[in-house]
Amino acid sequence: MFTGIVTDIGEVLDLKQQGDLRVRIGTTYDVDGIDIGASIACDGVCLTVIALGRTPGNWFDVQVSAESVSKTNLSSWVPGTRINLERALKVGDELGGHIVSGHVDGVAKVVAVRPEGDSLRVTFRAPTPLAKFIASKGSVALNGTSLTVNEVDGADFGINFIPHTQTATTWGGVALGDDVNLEVDTMARYVARLREWE
C-alpha cells in the first residue's frame, strides 16, 4: 500500500528485455534500507525490487511483466526518463494522500496544459470505462501522485498542480500528449461495484 505522496524522483538508468523487462532505477533512497523483495511505486506502478547497488550512485532493479507494460505508460520509458517514487507504507506512517495500491487501472492522456497563477492547470482524458470512477473533489493517483480532482466533464478531468508539487515530483515537466498512469480511488471502485448489486 502507498499514499500517493512522492518521496523521490528516480531516473531510469537501463532497460533490458530478459523474459520480462528488467529496469535499473537511480534513486536518492539509501539502498541499505531497502530489502530485496520490497515494493516501490514507480510512477504509480507497484514493482518488486530484485537487486540493489551503490555504484555508480544508488540504484535498484525491478522486473516488469508484459501485462504491466501493456496496461501502463512503462513502454515509453527510456534511459533518462524521470519517474515518481514512493516506498511502501509502514504501520504508523502519516497517511498524507489517500490509499493507493500501485495497481494501475489504465492510461490517461494530457489534453490541455495552462498556467493559472503560480500553479499549472492540467486536463486529462481518462479511458471511457474509468471515467465513472472520477468525481469532482475526489482523489486519483496519477503517475503515483495523490491528487484532488478539480472538475469533471465526461471523460475529461482537471487537476491543479501547485508549485511544490511541480518541483517535488515530475509534474513540473508535464506536456500536452503525455500518457499518464491512472489509478482510480479504491472507494469509488467499491461503491460502483456495490451499486451493481442494488
Percentage with pLDDT > 70 across the chain = 99
pLDDT tens digits, one per residue of 121-141 = 999 999 999 999 999 999 999
* Beta carbons of 59 and 53 less than 8 angstroms apart: yes
Q: Enumerate residues 6+ apart whose C-beta is below 8 A from 130.
A: 105, 106, 182, 184
Q: pTM to 2 decimals?
A: 0.92
pLDDT value for 196: 75
At 96, the pLDDT band (50, 70, 90 cuts) reads: confident
Domain boundary assignment for the chain: 8-87, 106-196
* Beta carbons of 122 and 140 less than 8 angstroms apart: no
Hey, which CATH number is domain 106-196, 2.40.30.20, 3.40.50.970, 1.10.287.130, 3.40.50.300? Answer: 2.40.30.20
Q: Does domain 8-87 have CATH number 2.40.30.20?
A: yes
User: Whole-number mean pLDDT of the chain?
Assistant: 93
Helices (H), 3-84: 66-71
Average pLDDT over residues 51-60: 93
pLDDT value for 162: 96
pLDDT of 69 over the 80 cut: yes
Same fold: 8-87 with 106-196: yes
At 97, the pLDDT band (50, 70, 90 cuts) reads: confident
Number of H helices, E strands in the chain: 4, 12
- Which amino acid, 50? I
